[in-house]
Amino acid sequence: MTLHADLYFSFRSPYSYLSIGRYRAMTEEYDLDIALRTVMPIAIRDPHILFTGNPLAPRYIVVDSFRQAQFHGIPLRWPRPDPIVQNLATREIAEDQPHIYPLVRMAQAATRRGKGLAFADEVSRVIWSGEIDGWNEGDHLSEAVARAGLDYPELAAEALSDAEALDAEIAANQDTLQKAGHWGVPTLVFDGEPFFGQDRIDTAKWRMQQKGLVKR
């Protein structure tokens, strides 16, 4: 019996990037379907947290995410450009955000097609791996989308023409994440239980094995 779970994911989260390939690999090895539930980064979704949280938090996140990347053998570099246009010195978030809205809408369009996990994995590698400067330029995104088995012009057109409906679906993702008992990403929700963080993947698999997870 195929088990089902939801993965709440952000394209600005290094921990989301560190988790997505491992969750995708799990679906390939096990009789498991994971639906991608993309949410807006916290800088857009709840920006006051960036200004009121402990000032040590951003530095720790950077140090720890790079350490975790080394531990798991996953290439990581802060994106160039950052998916969120923000002054990192002042934490001020720009009103104009040319990158994140198209990304998130296309990811939701991919979820509509049952390929959200593949989309997020391929695209986040282009953004986060450090192999590419200017991931938003040229054919980098279209090639990543093709590797996910999707058509980039089709997704990009849908992100423009159906933006309002896609935004409503993304907002619903954010609501269901809260209802599941968490607010951060990555969070996998299985059988009503949230597993927050890239360091809870093995725990989530253990729980799913208790509920009948088997290899394909």
Domain segments of the chain: what residues? Answer: 3-210
8 Å CB contact between 155 and 106? yes
Class at the top of the CATH hierarchy for domain 3-210: alpha beta
CA dihedral 170, 174, 177, 178 (to 10 degrees): -160
Half-sphere exposure of 85 (CA within 13 A, CB side): 8
Averages of pLDDT over each 10 residues, the chain, 216 residues: 97 98 98 98 79 76 96 97 89 91 98 98 98 96 98 98 98 97 96 97 98 97
Q: State pTM to two decimals.
A: 0.95
